[in-house]
Chain A
Amino acid sequence: RLLIVYPWTQRFFSSFGNLSSPTAIVGNPKVRAHGKKVLTSFGDAIKNLDNIKATYSKLSELHCDKLHVDPENFRLLGDILIIVLAAHLKDFGPACQATWQKLVGVVAHALAYKYH
């Protein structure tokens, strides 16, 4: 959805092959694989809720030094993750949304923390 709703984010994924349409993006195996990687990493945050900054320290350096990703994109992805959760879970009430908005904010902050 990030690649569809905010197409300029495709700039980070030039090696992913065909991203020319929503259908292409949804069917792209590299996109799926990367989605899995990202969500798995999110899972690490959830297992280490008291220590998210440390959990993402290396990833933060990677996103800055090697990937050159503007941290604004972490916020965009966080908001999209919440919309996906909302669409899949019938039970995503206001308190649940609020908690998740906080979590994605903390993760985005941690990912941006080592930028220099």
Chain B
Amino acid sequence: MLTAEDKKVIQQIWTKVKSHEEEFGAEALERMFISQPQTKTYFPHFDLSHGSDQIRAHGKKVAAALTTAVNSIDNLSQALSELSNLHAYNLRVDPPRFAFQFLAQSLQVVLAVHLGKDYTPEVHAAFDKFLSGVAAVLSEKYR
């Protein structure tokens, strides 16, 4: 799982994201909706056009949740407990593995585009592990 070095790297990189939370989250969502159109089925009530207010607002929510996760990296299960309930009992994004993995891929692409060569193999590995950890917690209560 996450080594001390991983955690340090994640927190360092995340300080760069924090000031652009809304754009970061929105861009990741937009990329996910375009690459994986099946993910749009969970947002029939949204205007999914480029730059829509709803995508921006939702992107901000997603990024803020990830900020919470980064700040509570040693206790993801407790920090994300409410979100975990929400996904398990209300949203029921299905199947948990795949849907979160699509968002994780798009989140990483956004990081890579913005960080360029600073998105080194080590940073990449740390984030991949972190995002799987978040996905696992969000899927915890599904059954």
Contacts and interface: CB of A to CB of B under 8 A. Distances in A.
The majority secondary structure among interface residues of chain A is helix
B112 A97 contact: no
A87 B13 CA distance: 15
Interface string B94-114: 000000000001101100110
B28 to A, nearest CB: 10
A1 B124 contact: yes
Q: Which of A82, A86, A98 has the most CB of B within 10 A?
A: A86
Contact of B121 (A5, A79, A101, A102): A5
A83 interface: yes
B34 A90 contact: no
Contacts of B121: 1, 4-5, 22, 25-26
A95 interface: yes
Contacts, number: 62
A22 B122 contact: yes
B124 A86 contact: no
A116 interface: no
A98 B34 contact: yes
Contacts of B30: 94
Nearest to B30: A94
A94 B109 CA distance: 9
A97 B109 contact: yes
